[in-house]
Structure 1
Amino acid sequence: MNDYILKMNGLTKKYKNHHAVDKVDLSIRKGDIYGFIGQNGAGKSTMLRLVTGLSFPTEGSLEIFGTDARTGLNDAQKRMGAIIENPALFSEMTARENLEVHRRQKGIPGRECIDETLALVGLTDTGVKKVKNFSLGMKQRLGLAMALLSDPEFLILDEPTNGLDPIGIVELRDLIRKLNREKGLTVLISSHILGELYQLATTYGIIHEGKLIEELSLKELDEKCRQHLKIKIDDVTKGATVLESDLGLTDFEVMPDKTINLYQHLDDVRKVSKTLTDNGLIIEHFARTGDSLESYFSKLVGGGRHE
């Protein structure tokens, strides 16, 4: 039995002189929730378009469900559900009518799946309301319903939380977890809301300028999100100078909110605090904490580490 839903080997997509995807090797195991992280323009959407057959690679190979996508894409598509960019919806139709059109296009037998899927995404009560009168969040839910209508084995979601309020984001996260846990659904999800991926994904792929620069499990990410001292003082510039000149420290960074993350002397915090106060600095906050996914990602792609 093949444990992998998706494999890429040297996958490349080139537009003139620009590599939107550049020699990517990537593997997604059955049952994974794979969080795809990258800045706008990093190549996330292009990658997902290659997986779903909306675009074709310039070089490299793509294997889905153990079959080369060049010969088995049609069969693979029947086992996948996807939202790539904005879902294609008929604005003059209701949610139910949209799903009926989608059901017929996909050749999905029986209409029972429509009611089940509307209930699953919380759109049962939309009735005769036309999609043109839906909120952005409701449209996202309808797009998700279309992706789930065929009861897929592999779900691909490109920025699915766009337009959702905080409650909607939590509900979507809970739904994906439930489908993954109860049905074994494998999910590939990209999002710029890194904190949401941190609460959901089991594996992470970080893409930057078309290249997959790191692939790691949740456990590995937790290990790499280093512990540090979060320091807030009245004069951050002077504080940075004191850390360097008086304590000989270099492994720290000044954050945009004018706090300092110090990665050294975690076991000698009294010495750090005393040195700062002895130099006339007022300490407003001083606590041991760990990196967020955002700060780790920022460092990895060339963020503001102080050297």
Structure 2
Amino acid sequence: MEFNVEINHLSKTIGKKKIIKDLSLNIKKGEVFGLLGPNGAGKTTTIRMIVGLIGITTGSVKICGHDVQTNHKEALENVGAIVENPEMYPFLSGLENLKYFSRMDSNSSTEKINELIEFVNLKSKINDKVKTYSLGMRQRLGIAQSLLNNPKVLILDEPTNGLDPAGIKELRQYVQTLAHEKGVTVIVSSHLLSEIELMCDRVAIIKEGELIATENLKEKNEDKLKHYQIRVSPSDKAQELLFKEYQLTSEFIEGLLEFQLPVSNLDIPEIVRLFVENNLAIYSIEPKENSLEDRFMNLTMK
């Protein structure tokens, strides 16, 4: 398996405060990887160490096999990044901005610029001044600018800030195309957990500088519990029957009876039959997804 980013026992101490504590992560080629955590968890500090903006106290970061500390130039040649809102020259056109930034990389070409303009769907506006661009258009131009050097790793720190739903959806599509079709490793830090759940393949959750969980969002775990909500009357009798017949504990939440079943042993038809045989009225029954936001809150609020 090919890892484009290898983080090993990474730590950062500022003064007497340890900001990052023994963080280790391997991020695969062509993967969209989410970096999550409450404010002050250390996400931005971790990103700054990955791209060499601040020093590493102990541990190491390797990008495409190159150590950020000992082979800084070789490592960063493989990286593109957008930190919050991309900075552009507002009185230049989108094309002029891309041409200006392309001078920093000898491998950039007119053909490459045109390809990126097409990719981010800015062809009709590329000759307009950037000051006339919407925030979503600026983000798209920022993605084009960050890809001028053909990076193998793209880092996006809070890329959805200020975007409307259409802009967020567009950004998600670009990110997934880059990763899954072009093989770019994309690291995304964001507070929008619902969007991270749609965008990412895996996530790491950091709290107070420590890695507390990693989760594969695309992998279906056959042994996990599935939540169900049922609207039934009388609900207290339904609760008694669930416990008596199946030893299932349940609770009332906003007028609904909630319980859990193992995915590998779904007994919903039997439960419905049990309720009907005992003269209970069933109005609705449906699965309730345990969202990334729910899991994030459970892990970080402890």
The normalised TM-score by structure 2 is 0.80
1:136 and 2:135 aligned: yes
C-alpha distance after superposition, 1:65-96 (max 9, x if no partner): 11221111211211211112332222222211
SS at match of 1:93: coil
Separation of aligned partners in 2, 1:269 and 1:40: 43
Shift of 1:211: 1.3
**Matched residue, 2:40:** 41
Whether the 8 Å contact between 1:80 and 1:155 is mirrored in structure 2 is yes
Whether the 8 Å contact between 2:202 and 2:217 is mirrored in structure 1 is yes
Q: How does 1:197-276 map to 2 (within 5 A)?
A: 197-220=196-219, 226-230=225-229, 261-263=258-260, 267=267, 269=271
1:291 and 2:257 aligned: no
1:3 and 2:2 aligned: yes
AA at the equivalent of 1:101: Y
* Number of equivalences: 295
Q: Point out where structure 1 has 5 or more consecutive residues left out of the alignment.
A: none
The normalised TM-score by structure 1 is 0.79
AA at the equivalent of 2:260: Y
SS at match of 1:199: helix
C-alpha distance after superposition, 1:201-254 (max 9, x if no partner): 2222111222111123235575587411225699xxx98xx969x959996677
Separation of aligned partners in 1, 2:190 and 2:202: 14
Q: How does 1:174-185 map to 2 (within 5 A)?
A: 174-185=173-184
Separation of aligned partners in 2, 1:150 and 1:67: 17
Q: Point out where structure 2 has 5 or more consecutive residues left out of the alignment.
A: none
1:100 and 2:99 aligned: yes
AA at the equivalent of 1:169: I
Identity within the alignment, %: 37
C-alpha distance after superposition, 1:144-186 (max 9, x if no partner): 1111112211111112222333233223222222222332212
Shift of 1:51: 0.9
Separation of aligned partners in 2, 1:130 and 1:258: 55
Structure 1 residues 168 and 253, CA gap change in structure 2 (3 angstroms):
farther
SS at match of 1:122: coil
**Matched residue, 1:186:** 185
